[in-house]
Structure 1
Amino acid sequence: MKKGKNRGRNQAGFTLLELMVVIFIIALAAGIVLPRLPEPEGTRLKSSARNLASGLRFLSDQAIITKKVYRLHLHLGENTTRITELSPSGEELQPGDQFMGRRLIEDGIDIEDVSVGSRGAVTEGEVIIPFGPGGVADGVTIHLKAGEKHYTVTANPSGGKVAVQDGYQEVSS
């Protein structure tokens, strides 16, 4: 009797192989589910501000290098962006560079207002920011918002410096 009892105890656990299979399945499920979870609002806002800043830098550099005129269209009501290239005849064309077609502002992020040069803050409609062979002609300030959190993106005409700042920053022209 004693012999049978000991034998049952030894067979009651999981084998190393079974544990490895279960851990693999859990890791696989986590690898599929975690990237699909929504990012926290603050992370999306910061990411959008950085994407917009890199887009402004890239447009300025491209305009200087290619000696072409580009336009960044900011649609405040829709919270979207679009980049066009101005042809010599004045027609707006879709640029050939795929970087210029990427999304700069993520879903759920609002463009609160945009200031270009001395025009003051625009809070609705469309704002067009031109980039010519000298880069951006006027200083640009764009305020992004998600919930109660803000980020400010500024582009300076002299030197083409673009900055991202946490919070709603008033920038003097």
Structure 2
Amino acid sequence: MNKAKNHDRGQAGFTLLELMVVIFIIALAAGIVLPRLPEPEATRLKSSARNLASGLRFLNDQAIVTKKVYRLHLQLGENTTRITEVSPSGEELQPADQFMGRRLIEEGIDIEDVSVGSRGAVTEGEVVIPFGPGGVGDGVTIHLKGGKEQFTVTAYPSGGKVTVQAGYQEVNS
């Protein structure tokens, strides 16, 4: 009976060869999958470009539907956005809509430059993009950068079309 107990104990574990095979298979799978996963910075950049595009579309639609004037303030040095509603007296107010208060560009993503209509590319300071009862008046091109990656967000006048493209795209709006 004592021999049977020892025999069962010897059969309960894995051999070194079995463990090495399992570790090799896991390492091989990780070596194939990990390089294909998106980098967190690239993911944040793509997300910021999409958020900015949806914000531009929303502002354009809100201005048309409500017949109000809104302004999108882009701070290039700080890489922040702020939306204001312009009162009939010309005073800038905080909009009541919660969507307009959310962050459009994630932390660590840079606004490289902004082009509004015929003003050319602005690379520093504040850029204000007006949205009136007819929507956005001039075409807007915003270049975002995260690490080595870049995205271009373009809002076209008349119609409210907004596109997001990978890379730094020169757009004639």
How many pairs were matched up? 147
| Aligned-CA RMSD value | 1.5
Show the counterpart of 2:3: 2
Secondary structure in 1 aligned to 2:57?
Answer: helix
- The CA deviation at 1:5 is 3.2
Taking the TM superposition and a 5 Å limit, the aligned residue runs for 1:41-52 are 41-52=41-52
Show the counterpart of 1:106: 106
**CA distance in structure 2 between the partners assigned to 1:4 and 1:171 by the alignment:** 79
Taking the TM superposition and a 5 Å limit, the aligned residue runs for 1:33-112 are 40-112=40-112
Structure 1 runs not aligned, ≥5 long: 14-38
TM-score normalized by the length of structure 2: 0.80
TM-score normalized by the length of structure 1: 0.80
**1:67-121 deviations in Å (ceiling 9; x for gaps):** 1100000000000000000011111111011000000000110000000011110
Show the counterpart of 1:141: 141
Whether contact under 8 Å (2:134, 2:158) holds in the other structure is no
Taking the TM superposition and a 5 Å limit, the aligned residue runs for 1:109-120 are 109-120=109-120
- The CA deviation at 1:9 is 5.8
Query: Cα gap change, 1:8/1:55 in structure 2, threshold over 3 Å: closer, same or farther?
Result: same
Where in structure 1 do 4 or more consecutive aligned residues deviate above 2 Å? 1-10
Aligned-pair identity (%): 82
**CA distance in structure 2 between the partners assigned to 1:111 and 1:91 by the alignment:** 27
**CA distance in structure 2 between the partners assigned to 1:114 and 1:80 by the alignment:** 13
Secondary structure in 2 aligned to 1:103?
Answer: coil
